[in-house]
Amino acid sequence: GAVVSQHPSRVICKSGTSVKIECRSLDFQATTMFWYRQFPKQSLMLMATSNEGSKATYEQGVEKDKFLINHASLTLSTLTVTSAHPEDSSFYICSARSGTGGVPGANVLTFGAGSRLTVL
């Protein structure tokens, strides 16, 4: 089945530094990838939609200058958290559209394993 790989799985950084998280579709091409954030005991919240070769679309309330997204190829999207602060500590998960799952009109999303960011 479709696999989405995310790296690193865990990162600890100092406040003020930038962190880059990679999301790769391993056995399929993904023109669109999605970045989610999950705080403890809360639901996944969509941050932005990453489109290959064009600018990402950000959800309301998400700072695009802080969370830089680059989707340079059909298999790779990156999320860079710039000038990270402790409140940015969270679980970041990417996903990619990987098929229809047999349901008409459906777009099945495959998720990566997530990246846990801790900002000290």
Residues that bind other proteins (CB under 8 A): 4, 6, 32, 34, 41-46, 49, 91, 93, 95, 97, 101-114, 116
Question: Please, which residue, 13 or 45, has the CB nearer to other proteins?
Answer: 45
Question: Please, which residue, 56 or 93, has the CB nearer to other proteins?
Answer: 93
Under a CB-based contact definition with an 8 Å cutoff, are residues 63 and 71 in contact? no
Q: How many CB atoms lie within 10 A of CB 43?
A: 7
The gap from C-alpha 107 to its chain's centroid, in whole angstroms, comes to 17
What distance in Å separates the CA atoms of residue 88 and residue 4, rounded to the nearest whole number?
23
Question: Please, which residue, 15 or 42, has the CB nearer to other proteins?
Answer: 42
Residue 19 C-beta: closest distance to other proteins, Å: 18
